Amino acid sequence: MLTLPNAAPGVWLHVDGAYGLPAAGAPTSRHLFAGLDRADSISIDAHKWMFVPKACSAVLVKNPASLAAAFSHNEAYIPHDFGDVNAVDATIEYSRPLRALKLWLAFKVHGAEAIRTALERNLAQAQLLYSLASEAPDFEVLVHRPQLSTVPLRHIPSRLVNASPEDLSNHNAALQQAVITDGRVYISPAQIDGDTWLRPCFTNFRTTTADVIITFDTIREISEKLSRA
């Protein structure tokens, strides 16, 4: 609950866009973000899926004056004579590096359409990996197709078909580490209902269809080696 000066109390609706919000600009996924325009503020980590180096985050607000109402205060040593907005008026930081420059440059050099196209390509790559895994008898995927670009999956070698959930989790935890050590692809782990899964997530504009197939084949290859060992 936030009460602004000269305003009635109300509910402030904030959306933490973190990794997924850029997909609101992609034609095939924007329907998932219906109602986003009702938010009072939105945050996004541009370094996660807008193809810029870390760290670059942004907050979008309907009414910029709301940030000043929430954060600013009178300081004798920061001038406000001409209505200038200082960093302290919109954030808890008094001084900060120009983190937004890298994102501004990306839009300036490549344009929004190029970024949108790269997002669409990542979305399609996630669907491809899901299809490859769901059609393979030695892979397990979630029931629903990925909404964005993350594809949780597990490899189940033949000797573990009837294994306990704990043994299967241990195998996929070891598999994730072995894939990293191998170095051809990078996959992080995820915990889903207490079980360990692999968590491929496509957020790089350089990723190709061939990379998706390599990822799939690499997981299977290394998993079988672990199983035999």
Residue-wise pLDDT for 59-69, tens only, equals 899 888 877 77
Q: Flag whether pLDDT at 173 surpasses 90.
A: yes
Report the pLDDT value the prediction gives residue 1, as an integer from 0 to 100.
Answer: 38
Classify 14-110 by CATH class: alpha beta
How many Å apart are CA 217 and CA 13, to the nearest integer? 44
Whether residue 210 has a cis bond before it, omega within 30° of 0:
no
Looking at residue 92, the DSSP 8-state letter turns out to be S
Report the pLDDT value the prediction gives residue 69, as an integer from 0 to 100.
Answer: 76
Domain at 113-228: CATH architecture: Alpha-Beta Complex (3.90)
Per residue in 67-112, pLDDT (tens digit) is 777 777 767 777 777 777 777 777 777 777 888 899 999 999 999 9
The CATH 3.90.1150.170 domain(s) of the chain lie at 113-228
Per residue in 5-58, pLDDT (tens digit) is 455 567 889 999 999 999 999 999 999 999 999 999 999 999 999 999 998 998
What average pLDDT does range 159-177 have in this prediction? 95
What's the pTM value of the predicted model, to 2 decimals? 0.86
> DSSP H helical segments within the chain, as ranges?
46-49, 64-71, 100-110, 112-134, 165-182, 209-228
Q: Flag whether pLDDT at 2 surpasses 50.
A: no
Of 72-81, 187-196, 197-206, least confident by mean pLDDT is: 72-81
Per residue in 109-163, pLDDT (tens digit) is 999 999 999 999 999 999 999 999 999 999 999 999 999 999 999 999 999 999 9
Report the pLDDT value the prediction gives residue 167, as an integer from 0 to 100.
Answer: 95
The CATH 3.40.640.10 domain(s) of the chain lie at 14-110
The token pair that represents 58 in the structure block: 């942004």
How many Å apart are CA 206 and CA 182, to the nearest integer? 20
Q: Quickly list DSSP for 165-229.
A: HHHHHHHHHHHHHHHHHH-SS--EEEEETTEEEEE-B---TT--HHHHHHHHHHHHHHHHHHHH-
The token pair that represents 129 in the structure block: 């990996």
